[in-house]
Structure 1
Amino acid sequence: MKWTQIPLGPLQTNCYVVSDGQNCIIFDPGEEPQKIIQYIQTKKLKPLAILLTHAHFDHIGALDAIRDYYEIPAYIHEKEAKWLLDPALNGSQKWFPENPMRMKPADHILVNEQELTIGGFTFEVFETPGHSPGSVSYYAKEERLLFSGDVLFQGSVGRTDLIGGSESVLLKSIDTKLLTLSDDTIVFPGHGPVTTILDEKNTNPFLR
């Protein structure tokens, strides 16, 4: 499994394109859809789906553009399904009142933790609330790749002062769902550089 990180928009939100050399999955297309399309066309990939870690505005800004261009489905957790349609919930109304985001409903709603298989890709879906109530992390077990959204960063954790956020819930999610993974698991956060579970155990000041 190959991957590339594409920081997008004013907050440099990480979009990830994960491929097997032919097909690909897109994580969190937050902004600048042309950058995503250009990369996919350059690599001659066929997108199969869009997986959302959560529905904050900076992670969904290019959702409809990418979904419509490739005619592929989008997945989100049930607790944030309505956020795609509501600028007050996804935060765009507060931060960008001149351009509130109202996306189309997701094509697939994730209910509870599960194993998700799309084409040749399989991910374990972990419910990891705290940054937002419907935050999920996607784990490719065989390759030990974790797409954590805004739950866990290099040297930091997600903010908890937004709608539905909770510091205690966030830290519990990290402790019980993420830090139990193997130390060599590569963590792909929603912002900033890639890290590993071992590095965060050893150096992340929020986890001590």
Structure 2
Amino acid sequence: MSNTTIPIEDDPCDIIAKAMRGQNLSTEQLADKAGMNIEILQDLLAGGNRPKDIKRVANVLKLDGVALSNLPNYYPSIESPKGLYQIISPFGHAGVNAYIIEHGTTATVIDTGTNADELIQLIHSKGLKIARLLITHRHHDHTACTEAFKNTPVLYPEDLDHKALIKTENGPITSLDVSGHMSPARAFYYEGLETPICIVGDAVFAGSMGGTSGESTYKLSLKTAQNNLMTLPYTTVLCPGHGPLTSVKLEQKNNPFLSKC
């Protein structure tokens, strides 16, 4: 599957719902704060496209209203750098992503997806040896196939401190704290390919972020994404757990949660 055929993970209604849950706001409370009829808000939450009303709601939720209203027209055009492979297995409408980073004769696998057959076949076809399996977070869709890697060292988020270095054949992978959607959670930054990459799990999607369980985790997810991901070089390719590849530069402009517009 090419990057251009992978669906975006969230629509504006999904983002509004995530921000409401993260700020502990009911439909009635948000409608009141936005000064709008509750039926209009319910229509937005059902997928209605009302740009002016979306911007009003975004203002209350401290989201970027321009980015949120433009989201239906947003799709990142990012090519996978040589040596990075994105493998999609079934989960939800967009699937779940696992990744392979090639380091000469060895490879790092990041997350397993819900079916690791294609991933393992690809590694064997390239004659690579799996050096390690890294897990971004312990949700089942990212860890379902860990048993397929019985003879491989596995590093979970709790095994890695923020900014820990993982040695590879072509330079280190840096572990970054992206807790929030789940805690602990780690992203993995690597400069050994033609452009920097960061496998981010569900910390950031193209145009969105992973959902959280409440106010404290919502605040934490925003903090770790802003401090530890949006500060990476702007050319860094972000490799999310769901949806297409994106970049720091694109998410700084187009992500309603993170935009600097």
Aligned-residue identity in percent:
29
**Corresponding position of 1:199:** 250
Matched, 1:46 2:129: yes
**Size of the alignment, in residue pairs?**
174
**Corresponding position of 1:9:** 90
**Corresponding position of 2:42:** none
Change (3 A) 1:117 1:161: same
Unpaired stretches in structure 1, ≥5 consecutive residues: 79-108
**Corresponding position of 1:132:** 182
TM-score, normalisation: structure 2: 0.63
Following superposition, which runs of at least 4 residues in structure 1 exceed 6 angstroms of deviation?
none
Change (3 A) 1:29 1:72: same
Q: Which of the two has greater helix per residue?
A: 2
Whole-Å separation in 1 of the counterparts to 2:203 and 2:155: 18
Secondary structure at 2:132's aligned position in 1? strand
TM-score, normalisation: structure 1: 0.78
Contact 2:103 2:168 in 1 (8 A): no
Structure 1 residues 161-200: aligned runs within 5 Å: 161=213, 166-200=217-251
Contact 1:54 1:136 in 2 (8 A): yes
Query: How far does residue 165 in structure 1 lie from its aligned partner after superposition?
Result: 7.2
The residue type equivalent to 2:152 in the other structure is: I
Q: Which of the two has greater strand per residue?
A: 1
Matched, 1:34 2:117: yes
Contact 1:22 1:45 in 2 (8 A): yes
Query: How far does residue 121 in structure 1 lie from its aligned partner after superposition?
Result: 4.4
The residue type equivalent to 1:144 in the other structure is: P
The residue type equivalent to 1:13 in the other structure is: V
Superposition RMSD on alpha carbons, in Å? 1.8
After superposition, what is the alpha-carbon deviation per residue over 1:113-134, rounded to whole angstroms, capped at 9, x for unaligned? 3112134341111111111111
**Corresponding position of 1:110:** 160
Of residues 175-184 and 141-150 in structure 1, the stretch that sits farther from structure 2 once superposed is 141-150
Whole-Å separation in 2 of the counterparts to 1:39 and 1:112: 30
Contact 2:104 2:170 in 1 (8 A): no
Q: Point out the structure with max Rg over C-alpha.
A: 2
Q: 1:145 aligns with which of 175, 184, 197?
A: 197
**Corresponding position of 1:18:** 101
Query: How far does residue 161 in structure 1 lie from its aligned partner after superposition?
Result: 2.4
Secondary structure at 1:32's aligned position in 2? coil
Identify which of structures 1 and 2 has the higher relative contact order when contacts are C-alpha pairs closer than 8 Å and 6+ apart: 2
Change (3 A) 1:64 1:133: same
Change (3 A) 1:63 1:177: same
Unpaired stretches in structure 2, ≥5 consecutive residues: 1-81
